[in-house]
Amino acid sequence: MVAKESKQRGRPRSFDRDTALEKAIRSFWEHGYESTSISDLTREMGISAPSLYAAFGDKRALFEEAVTVYGRLYGGFITRALAEEPTGRRGVERALREAAAEYTVPDRPRGCMVISAALNTAPASAEVAASLRQKRQQNVREIERAVRADIAAGDLPPGTDARALAEYVSAILAGMSQSARDGTDRHTLEAVADLAMNAWPRTEQPAPDTP
Amino acid sequence: MVAKESKQRGRPRSFDRDTALEKAIRSFWEHGYESTSISDLTREMGISAPSLYAAFGDKRALFEEAVTVYGRLYGGFITRALAEEPTGRRGVERALREAAAEYTVPDRPRGCMVISAALNTAPASAEVAASLRQKRQQNVREIERAVRADIAAGDLPPGTDARALAEYVSAILAGMSQSARDGTDRHTLEAVADLAMNAWPRTEQPAPDTP
DNA sequence: GTTTTTGTGTAGCGAGCGATACAGAAAGTT
DNA sequence: AACTTTCTGTATCGCTCGCTACACAAAAAC
């Protein structure tokens, strides 16, 4: 995919595809799918419409690619936190904490692109909305898996409702994204994340090893 | 405003203004401001474009009126809960619980119109987005006031960060709205609301009256 | 140098957008 | 009845949308 087999034959592309895609990501992230017009994109990407269509297909395909690359570059922190931390609690705690930072990086669109890029669901872009919803639900299932692992490990009470706890975490994440879009600063969002973790169920006995 | 001074002179309106406005509310609530076109509105409201413009001004004015009436008919439960319950905790608890119900009423757009109706902020409708953001921030300040009241009453530890706690509640509300839009059912949302309340800070001593 | 291939720029397609001009219809006023 | 006022339906307006036809430019292949 990346390695070019041999020299291209025709006239070479006069712009850097990755740079242009990055600009497209920023545009979609900032304004959402519908509200980002082709002329917005060509202006931001610094290319003409025919070049855009030649390089990326159509608006829909460009958006799909933007979401994919966004996930790799900016949206992976939740998955990473859950995978790298020893317990679900630590993973979620880190994910929430990192969200506070990620959602408020200066000179970058605030909040989560997947959460906010297609909330206005016009019939014409219903497929886009459905695709993003699926991604969010996939994320919830990922969190739920981490919760179940904690229950199995005895780090959470056996009666814990894993589905609800996962939905709760997903909701607070969406809420923080929303809050960030409205201008809430990083410090306040971190305080929100701390508070949210107080809701994490406590085990009856702290540890059964100290007699 | 409501009482008609005397008999109207010209040809009477052939549709009920309130019913038409209700239809407009549903449309904006479901699809958002930008994604609801004038032709969508005229179809749903059962009137022609000139009638719409004569009765409501332009699209922007119709939306403003829709948001106002939405707040009176559907969005007032938070203010009501905070005002009627004896403590902030009880008020927020009730608001969260009612949100779970309000956001998932069958045959009604899911989630909160103010939160979701203008998240896609195209430059053309930046004013609309700003207006809605202001309403949300006003809501946060309302919650913050209730929290401060609890602190003063000794129902919350003196060191409680009122601003952060208010932002947390606002975030979980926004998250639940998002979650509801994605299809999460009322039962699960209620479980989320219960979980969220576990984050509410506890006072050191339950009550200083029992010796 | 000629041919082939591919990208670029101009210019414009049909469709839908928000909004309105205009003529006619339906009520009260006289 | 005639007149005035207001609302309604048709038929658009100018504009922007996503998208593309077409001629020209710039590279490799021969």
Residue B78 and residue B72 in contact, taking contact as beta carbons nearer than 8 Å: no
Closest CA to A117 of A106, A108, A128, A126: A128
List of residues 6+ apart from A76 with CB closer than 8 A = none
CB spacing of A120 vs B120 below 8 angstroms: yes
Which residues of chain A lie closer than 8 angstroms to B184, CB-CB? 167
Which residues of chain A lie closer than 8 angstroms to B116, CB-CB? 119-120
The three state secondary structure string of chain A is CCCCCCCCCCCCCCCCHHHHHHHHHHHHHHHCCCCCCHHHHHHHHCCCHHHHHHHHCCHHHHHHHHHHHHHHHCCCHHHHHHHHCCCHHHHHHHHHHHHHHHCCCCCCCCCCHHHHCCCCCCHHHHHHHHHHHHHHHHHHHHHHHHHHHHHHHCCCCCCCCHHHHHHHHHHHHHHHHHHHHCCCCHHHHHHHHHHHHCCCCCCCCCCCCCC
Residue A38 and residue A59 in contact, taking contact as beta carbons nearer than 8 Å: yes
Which of the residues A172, A189, A190, A194 would you substitute to probe the B interface, choosing the one with the greatest number of B C-beta atoms within 10 Å? A172
Q: What is the pLDDT of residue B2?
A: 37
Q: What is the pLDDT of residue A7?
A: 61
DSSP secondary structure code for residue B44 in this structure: H
Which residues of chain B lie closer than 8 angstroms to A31, CB-CB? 120-123
Bases of chain C below 7 A from a protein C-beta are: 4-12, 16-22, 24-29
Closest residue, chain B, to A116 (C-alpha): B119
Residues of chain A with pLDDT under 70: 1-8, 88, 117-128, 204-211
DSSP secondary structure code for residue B123 in this structure: G
3-state helix, strand, coil in chain B (%, to 5): 65, 0, 35
Residue A176 and residue A195 in contact, taking contact as beta carbons nearer than 8 Å: no
Q: What is the pLDDT of residue A92?
A: 73
> What are the structural domains of chain A?
17-70 (1.10.10.60), 79-197 (1.10.357.10)
Q: What is the pLDDT of residue A204?
A: 62
Distance to chain B for A57, nearest Cα, Å: 23
Which residues of chain B lie closer than 8 angstroms to A171, CB-CB? 172, 175-176, 178-179, 192, 196
Closest residue, chain B, to A35 (C-alpha): B122
| CA gap B121, A185 in Å, rounded | 20
Residue A146 and residue A80 in contact, taking contact as beta carbons nearer than 8 Å: no
Taking CB atoms and an 8 Å cut-off, how many pairs form between chains A and B? Answer: 149
Q: What single-letter amino acid sits at B170?
A: S
Which of the residues B27, B96, B120 would you substitute to probe the A interface, choosing the one with the greatest number of A C-beta atoms within 10 Å? B120
Helix axes A88-102, A77-84, angle to 10 degrees: 150
Segment (H or E) for B86: none
Closest CA to A32 of A115, A92, A91, A104: A115
Burial of B4 (0-12, 13-18, 19+ CB in 10 A): exposed
For residue A58, give Cα distances in angstroms to A33, A95, A121, A188.
Answer: 13, 34, 19, 40
Distance A14 CA to D27 C1' (A): 11
Which of the residues A120, A181, A185 would you substitute to probe the B interface, choosing the one with the greatest number of B C-beta atoms within 10 Å? A120
Residue A66 and residue A24 in contact, taking contact as beta carbons nearer than 8 Å: yes
| CA gap A206, B5 in Å, rounded | 72
pLDDT tens, N- to C-terminus, chain B (211 residues): 333 344 567 778 888 999 999 999 999 888 888 888 999 999 999 999 999 999 999 998 998 899 889 889 998 887 888 789 877 677 777 877 788 788 888 888 888 787 776 666 666 666 767 777 887 888 888 888 888 988 999 998 999 999 999 999 889 888 887 887 788 888 898 899 889 989 988 876 554 444 3
Distance to chain B for A136, nearest Cα, Å: 8
Which residue bears the tokens 């926004």? B174
Distance to chain B for A190, nearest Cα, Å: 9
Residues, chain A: 211
Segment (H or E) for B135: helix B126-152
| CA gap B113, B187 in Å, rounded | 21
Distance B132 CA to C2 C1' (A): 65
Q: What is the pLDDT of residue B20?
A: 94
Q: What is the pLDDT of residue A182?
A: 80
- Nucleotide nearest residue B13, measured CA to C1': D7
Distance to chain A for B57, nearest Cα, Å: 23
